[in-house]
Each structure stands twice: as structure tokens, then as C-alpha cells.
Amino acid sequence: MHDNLFNVDNDSLEKSLNFLHKQAENHPGEFQYILTLNREMVETMEAKAILKFKVEDYERARFTKSDRFLGKAYSEWKGKRG
């Protein structure tokens, strides 16, 4: 499964991430959940120590402005859909 947890409040994000962590603990080798997050979304939770795991333990890729996804420069599209 793949998801983008964008535009959710911090409480919902915290609960979702801790739930996913628990699923991974309870089903090692069987559970996989792929999501994308901006680093800023978890920094406050890490500072408050409300996540029950280290994000880095699950991180598989990190992209920055200098280390871009697919090595391409791109910008977010701000137009209307549909």
C-alpha cells in the first residue's frame, strides 16, 4: 500500500505513524506500508518524543533540493484539477 499523509493534523499523523509502527512490530517480515512525508511533518513529534519509534529506522530514501528524486528539478503544480 502507498499513501501520502498530507494535510492531516499532527494528532492524526502521530496516531497513524504509531499505529503503522505497531503493525510492523506485530507482523515482522509481513507488513509493508509505503508513504511519503516532508521532514518538517515529524520534527515536532520527535522533539516532543511522542513517536514510539525512530523515523530513521524506517526511512528508505531521502531527497533534498541538492539530492533530488530521479535527479530532476521540478516544481509543484499549483493549478486547478479537472
pLDDT of residue 3: 57
**In this predicted model, what pLDDT tens digit does every residue of 1-31 receive, in sequence order?**
445 555 678 888 899 999 999 999 999 999 9
- The answer to whether 61 and 24 are in contact (CB under 8 A) is no
pLDDT in tens, 23-80: 999 999 999 888 888 888 888 899 999 999 999 999 888 888 888 888 877 777 777 7
